[in-house]
Amino acid sequence: MPGQSKTAAIAPPASEIAILGAGAVGQLICHQLHSAGLAVGLIARESFASNIEATHWQDLVFSPLLLNNTNTESVSYRVPKLDIESKSAQQIKLLIVCVKAYQVLDAISPLLDKLSPQCHILLLHNGMGPHLTLAPRLNGRGLSLGTTSQGVLRQSCWQVKQTGQGLTQFGHFTGPELPQALRERLLHAIPNSEWVEAIIPSLWQKLAVNAAINPLTALHQCPNGTLAQAQFSKTIATILDELVEVAAHDGVELDRQRLEERVYRVIELTAANFSSMHQDVAHHRPTEIDQINGYIGDRANAHGLSAATNAQMVQSIKQLSAIPPVQ
């Protein structure tokens, strides 16, 4: 219009790695990759709230974990917003999917015909299940899976704070494997990360922790540490008994005693924390119960087994989630 001027935005360089889902974990991984000098960009619903032609970048803030009186000043940085409709989408070699488990299929499906046929997919979320549904739809693409116990808190839309260290594991699931050079850059960028040859057992172990802790903290509206009380021990033991039996029928042998030790170790180390499911229920958001205890129940049904306690967790969380917020 006459009398108005518009400064042309400078388009960012192409990104080799894209992160789908800019929640707490997505922003944490984004910062770690960016800090390592990798060409990373974001695909997020928030990224396209404004005119994509007017702004090609996203400004973010990361607050590091306090360790031994180290510098804890927040870091401001920017990464490209990725327009999947552009030709640059064809240059993405690795798509890291960090949305909630129940969002995976809806989030990734519109991208599959826009990404390069060689683009590798990496799922990084709580729970299990989406990998089985997604794999047949990838048209020959490679699929890897991951799990992380890094702690991170989303303080505002584009600001996160790291709240805990933890192990991050990745591993191949199906299709062409992630190229070795890209794998090495990923592991170099993310502290305390490793590539494991058998990722499914690692996911079952993480599932056990989530299945034992998340629903109980949500139902009893308590921090993780409360579950160390004797009143919860029988329920936790039964959840784990059912999980170990189901996993064995899926071909995954788990050490029952070590699994329980791991659960109680997490309860101890995160005693003051509130689980993600507790927070989801408290804020009247959808939960990942179907991909945690629900997945155990689904696999039990597939093998003609009973997982009654896990099924009860699913039913109880859904009943709790259905209660409308107080006006």
| Residues that are catalytic | 206
Q: Pairing state of beta strands 143-148 and 168-174?
A: antiparallel
**How many CA atoms are closer than 13 Å to the CA of 196, on its beta-carbon side?**
16
Of the candidates 146, 156, 154, the residue with the CA atom closest to the CA atom of residue 28: 154
Query: How many other C-beta atoms are found inside a 10 Å radius of the C-beta of residue 97?
Result: 25
Q: Please compute, for residue 314, the number of CA atoms within 13 A of its CA located in the half-sphere on the CB side.
A: 16
Half-sphere exposure of 94 toward its Cβ, with a 13 Å CA cutoff?
Answer: 24
CB 195 within 8 A of CB 122: no
Tell me the C-alpha distance between 120 and 118, whole Å: 6
- Provide CB contacts within 8 A for 314, sequence distance 6+: 215, 289, 290, 293, 294, 297
Asked if 244 and 187 count as a contact pair (C-beta separation under 8 A), the reply is: no
Alpha helices (runs of H) in 12-119, residue ranges in sequence order: 24-35, 104-108
Burial of 49 (0-12, 13-18, 19+ CB in 10 A): exposed
| Residues composing the chain | 327
DSSP 179-194: PHHHHHHHHHHSTTEE
Dihedral sign from CA coordinates of 206, 210, 212, 217: positive
